[in-house]
Structure 1
Amino acid sequence: MIEQKFQQFKTSITPEEFNNIEFLTSKAEQMKENDEALAKRILVRVNNLNKQNANNQKAKIKPNNPESNPLHLVSSDDAEKSDKNTSSRLAAIYSRLTSSPFLVLVIIPTLIFAFYQNFWATERYESQAQVIVQQPDGMATMDTGLALLSGMGMGMPTSGKDTELVKAYIYSNDMLNYLNKTLDLKAHYSQSTVDYFSRIHNSDSREELLEFYKKHINVYIDDKSGVVNIFSQAFNPDFSLMLTQTIVDRAEWYINSIGHQLAEAQLNFIKGEHQIVENKLEVAQKNLLNFQQRYNLLDPMAEGAAMQQITYTLEGQISAKQAELKGLQSIMSAKAPQVISLQNTITALKSQLINERNKLSTDSAQNIPVSEILASYTDLKIKMELALQAYTSSQVSLEKSRIEAYRQLKYLVVVESATHPEQNKYPDVFYNVSLFALIISMLFSIVKIIILTIKELR
């Protein structure tokens, strides 16, 4: 179609104009808006004329020996044939590409991606290590009674939260900052010898560096055994080994530090509460001791009981003497010496009974009644007993907390040390190319179905 238009254009102008470069260039500029394909074909003719003129100038350098010149002059007919062959080839390639979009959109991108994966993508080496979080066996350090008191049982396994904590810390920004300070991780991942698509760039932000780091560090947790598998990728095997070992060492420090911090915080809190209870017990004991020293009484309760026993004894003696007095009065006169003596004895006993009763209940300026002393003493003694019980419970809680704090200590045990890779694991060329081809084929099919559906609906 283009060649037909070009032949029509050729017949519409003179041979001089057909061989005039300036005329053809101006015509191509005029036709570019209306017929771009014909304009390009005219420019091909202009290009061939330029080559022909260059060859003619080289041929004129040695006019006396034309046979020694390797460049032969090309006639206008040969140039025209060459133009036709070139244009036909370009037209054939263009028609083939436009007639096969699957080739353009699927096959060629896949081949380009395969070339990148095989010959351009930088090799990555992967080192791995296995660790597990363990707790000490508290039953091995105490007797059975103390273990039951502390509530500890046999075989306390670590929870899944501990392994998830290790995983979260490895993926954290704190770990990335530590690796940057220790190994200069960013410098390794941004080497100029690494291909453009496999490295990070100096203009990348901290968030982009963290995402790149997460893509090259893989942490997998075995739910059955609780083993944490750590995989680290680097662009050379030695750095991969150092990277994995540094991650394991830092994770071990982190687990140990948080275990000690939690245990220390818990113990400090319990010790503070225990100190408060101990101070209360000391105050109660001091108040009780001061009370005893103030009234010179070792045991006011025993003193009160003794005074009550004295009053009971006096009352009994008075009753006996009064009965005896009645018997004497029935046989003797009121002035008899025995009667008078017995009356004096009864009077003395009654006076003593009144004094003893006053000690128990009467409050005077000099003395406090025994009942009040006994009530105060009982109150102080109850306070001391309550403080003693609280101190005993606090002491048990303190020992229990110490055991619990020891039980909460965790250790990161290395199951498998960091390995030194000998062969690169990435890129996985076959997998990557196959996945790329599959995805791009699916996208092509989806787009083609959408286009056909739209055409059908029209």
Structure 2
Amino acid sequence: MGVKARKFRIRRSLAATLGAGGATETEAGREEQAAPARPRRPAGGGAGAERPERPVRPVNAAAPEALSPEEAGESDAAREIEAIKAEGLTGRQLRMARRLAERHGLKPVSDLDAVRLLRRKGIDPFRTSNLLELVPPDPRVQEPEPAAEAPTPALRRSSEPVKVPGPDKLPATRRAPKPPSPQIMSEEERAREILQMQRDLMRRRRRRMFLLAVRLFFFVIVPTLITGFYYYRIATPMYATKAEFVIQKAESQLGPNMGGGLFAGTSFATSQDSITVQSYLQSREAMERLDREHDFKAHFQQPFIDPIQRLAPDASNEDAYRLYRRVVKVGYDPSEGIIKLEVAAADPQTSVEFARALISYAEEQVDALTKRLREDQMKGAREAFREAEQKMVAAQKRVVELQQKRGVLSADLEVSARMQQISSFEVELKNKKLQLAAMLDNPRPNPTKVELMRKEIQRLEELIAEMRRGLTEGSAKTESLAKVSGELMIAKAELETRQMLLSQALQQLETARIEANKQVRYLSLGVSPVAPDEPTYPRKFENTLLAFLIFAGIYLMISLTASILREQVAG
């Protein structure tokens, strides 16, 4: 439990009081009596426990008027001890005060005397920082030997160690600070020194600001002025012609459920074609064709063009292509599907001429994109139709040849005619047989008639048998009707097959033609090239401001880099 420090007042000694103000002992006695008596606390109780008041004996007012120094000191010590008793200090506090006095090299005769001696030295015995000095010191720290009578803190030498509690509430040893220099500056000298320091600071600040202004002038302002002078006085004005066009495809005749594309009719359906055309217009091929047909290099090699934009007389294709990329700008907007073209030249008519030439190149490129696809599709369909037609004609010729060779127009008709003849002959044969049977039923038939009837029946049977053999068996001169009929049937079946394949090939040809029409691309010109009446480039103010920002940014980055390197090297 912490000890609560009481407030106290160090009284002056009686001798000092008598020597300074000539006060009488009676006045000192009255002053002592006027001091209120403080209640005393019990020795074993806590900090807040009450103790019964003890009567304080008043200082003898009838002291002799003149005392010796020893007697005056003893009388003053007695009064101080009586005042300390009146404070009601506990036994624990008195023991701690005695131990603290011994640590400071004092030799008290009692606990109350220890409190008196400590207060005379200006030490509060009940202060927390002083109580920490009672902790046993670290054996590794050397302490100075206590003197018989320790000097006051104000009179310590600068080289004498002073014990103070460390940050961990333990005693530590440190050296007391050296006393200030005996040389004391007057107010006038101090003001003069302060004014001199202010002038030095202002001089350094002005020098730094001047150096900064010089660096900014040479590294930022001068390059910006040179750039602005070029744009305002030297740069050749360029006239830019703008045009816009879009690439479209033929609309599908089929509905969305019959093969129509999801993005049909939108800009996404022709985005690849638009990007391809954009790449072509920015290619070396387009530049070389423009130079062959419209003298692109010769136009920018004219002497009135400034040296920076002028093309050298012996310029290579790479130099011309770099200039071409700078004066011909092609952009594509995927959301709208519009290709934007901007062509700059030294005069308006030439810029319009270049723009129209590039648009014609783009249109040819659009046609060439799908030409091969359309030709491949139509070529395959045409070849298939032509082959089917040739085979159908060959089958037709074979049927005709068989009919001519066999003398049979139609095998079915020939067979049916033969069968009708055989049927009629069989009917006649049956009649003859009936007549012969009727003759034989006569008891006395005519032998001649019977013989004739039998011969007719025999001839009919032979004829029917021969006709039946002619249906299935051939002779040396003619083929069997069955063989001729089979050949004709095969030839006619092949003819029918070829006719069906020909109709399918014709349908495929029509489908290929429709698909080829779908692949057709059209270049629709939205904004036509128009010659400008005022120069478009250079943009003098914008370019000068941009140059200033670029030079300032470069200077700032170099300055920061140099400062960081300087700090790293110095550190």
How would you bin the TM-score normalised by the shorter chain?
0.5 to 0.7
- 1:131 and 2:242 matched: no
Check the 8 A contact 1:321/1:342 in 2, yes or no.
no
Check the 8 A contact 2:249/2:270 in 1, yes or no.
no
- 1:109 and 2:223 matched: yes
Check the 8 A contact 2:473/2:480 in 1, yes or no.
yes
- Distance 1:288-1:262 versus aligned 2 partners, 3 A rule: same
Partner of 1:122: 236
Q: Distance in 2 between matches of 1:414 and 1:132?
A: 6
RMSD: 4.5
Partner of 1:280: 391
Deviations 1:156-184 (A, max 9, x none): 67723333343233223343233223432
- 1:393 and 2:504 matched: yes
Q: Distance in 2 between matches of 1:94 and 1:196?
A: 40
Partner of 2:183: none
Partner of 1:359: 470
Q: Distance in 2 between matches of 1:198 and 1:370?
A: 96
Structure 1 segment 340-359 matched on structure 2, within 5 A? 347-359=458-470
Partner of 2:338: 227
- Distance 1:309-1:118 versus aligned 2 partners, 3 A rule: same
TM-score, normalised by the number of residues in structure 1: 0.62
Which residue of the other structure, out of 406, 422, 425, is the alignment partner of 2:536? 425
Q: Distance in 2 between matches of 1:194 and 1:161?
A: 38
Check the 8 A contact 1:304/1:370 in 2, yes or no.
yes
Aligned-partner residue type, residue 131 of structure 1: F
Which residue of the other structure, out of 403, 413, 421, is the alignment partner of 1:302? 413
Identical amino acids, percent of aligned pairs: 23
Check the 8 A contact 1:328/1:339 in 2, yes or no.
no
Aligned-partner residue type, residue 114 of structure 1: G
Check the 8 A contact 1:332/1:339 in 2, yes or no.
no
Check the 8 A contact 1:125/1:426 in 2, yes or no.
yes
Partner of 1:20: none
5+ residue gaps, structure 1: 1-91
What's the secondary structure of 2:304's corresponding residue? coil
Check the 8 A contact 2:331/2:339 in 1, yes or no.
yes
Partner of 1:383: 494
TM-score, normalised by the number of residues in structure 2: 0.51
Is the radius of gyration larger for structure 1 or structure 2?
A: 2
Check the 8 A contact 1:325/1:339 in 2, yes or no.
no
Query: How big is the shift at 1:379?
Result: 1.7
Check the 8 A contact 1:124/1:427 in 2, yes or no.
yes
Deviations 1:246-292 (A, max 9, x none): 32344345545777776567656644443333222222211211111
Q: Distance in 1 between matches of 2:560 and 2:433?
A: 132
- Distance 1:152-1:296 versus aligned 2 partners, 3 A rule: farther
5+ residue gaps, structure 2: 1-205
Aligned-partner residue type, residue 126 of structure 1: A
Partner of 1:162: 273
Partner of 1:171: 282
Query: How big is the shift at 1:216?
Result: 1.2
Aligned residues: 358
Q: Distance in 2 between matches of 1:281 and 1:310?
A: 36
Q: Distance in 2 between matches of 1:449 and 1:455?
A: 10
Q: Distance in 1 between matches of 2:209 and 2:526?
A: 63
Partner of 2:77: none
What's the secondary structure of 1:177's corresponding residue? helix
Deviations 1:187-235 (A, max 9, x none): 2222333222223222331122123212211122333443322111112
- Distance 1:436-1:325 versus aligned 2 partners, 3 A rule: farther
